[in-house]
Structure 1
């Protein structure tokens, strides 16, 4: 199982005062709704203020939305989407573009981006990671916890806060 060795940050995070935006794709509705619910649960459990939720058509569109939200002054962005392998190279193109784009947003802006993009071979694998009843993993919650963990680590290291627009 891919979750083997994952850290457990739940209960150790303080999200108070952290402005978070969650950008979620519309493709694979059931899975993305599970990811979004898990992300929102994790943020609430950490005491983060209610996040801004932005919906975009698909996973390919996540980076541009994340970039605009990072530039708008959010302390962190959580990106949620799903790409399921098909019979064409489309899977590789979308996965590569989303991964590179979200990494670029985070590094270029200094705003942590939680990577909640599932890249699965089958719909069943996606459902198993969506945080739905019966799922073995909750990647939406993990992405939110990870981004709050980065915010906390940067604060603890004395990194200066980003200027607000």
Structure 2
């Protein structure tokens, strides 16, 4: 894992409506991801935040889709999938990734991708923003989603990020 080349983002997100959709599996890791997401949104000045908990990462795309339909300016999707001994890992990872990507592209609403796809629990913990972790993917996903909203609003001022008239 490397942060080499990662951008330094300063984000001002006042007025941005964010929905955080978070899976429930791997409670310790999810607690770290959620804490990082909350810190990033607070650091950006985002106060309009709704959190939705779903059972697992497979359910993230449907919850994110409903959030977009309800008017979210950005969605932060958080989940953890740890490789096991069956192909289940591949199916869940692909479904979550493709579902969230398709939603973002179709809707024009940024989706911060905070879904960890790890070979083992140690990798997940190292990315969860917990004490001793090397990365904080919850923080990064939230920051990326808000920064994308802001960038699109600045570049396309006649409509919101989904192309709807203001």
Pick the aligned partner of 1:56 from 51, 54, 57: 54
TM-score by length of 1: 0.95
For 1:2 and 1:67, the matched residues in 2 are separated by 31
Give the structure 2 partner of residue 2 of structure 1.
Answer: 2
> Number of residues paired by the alignment?
162
Compute the RMSD of aligned alpha carbons. 1.2
Secondary structure of 1:51's aligned partner: strand
Q: Supply the distance in 2 between the matched residues of 1:4 and 1:36 (Cα, whole angstroms).
A: 24
* Equivalent residue, structure 2, for 1:131: 129
1:23 Cα offset (Å): 0.3
Give the whole-Å Cα distance in 1 for the aligned partners of 2:99 and 2:22: 15
In 1, Cα distance between equivalents of 2:82 and 2:63 = 21
CA-to-aligned-CA distance 1:85-143 (integer Å, 9 cap, x gap): 01100111000000000001111111110000000001000000000011000000000
When structure 1 is superposed on structure 2, of 78-87 and 151-160 the one drifting more is 151-160
Alpha-carbon shift at residue 3 of structure 1 (Å):
2.6
Contact 1:44 1:50 in 2 (8 A): no
2:133 counterpart SS class: coil
Structure 1's unaligned 5+ residue stretches are none
Aligned to 2:25: 27
Corresponding residue of 2:147: 149
Among 61, 81, 103, which residue is 1:105 paired with?
Answer: 103
The reply to whether residue 43 of structure 1 matches residue 41 of structure 2 is: yes
Per the TM alignment, residue 50 of structure 1 is displaced from its structure 2 partner at its CA by 4.1
8 Å contact from structure 1 (residues 102, 113) kept in 2: yes
Alignment of 1:83-98 (within 5 A): 83-98=81-96
The 8 Å contact of residues 15 and 48 in structure 2, kept in 1 or not, is answered as no
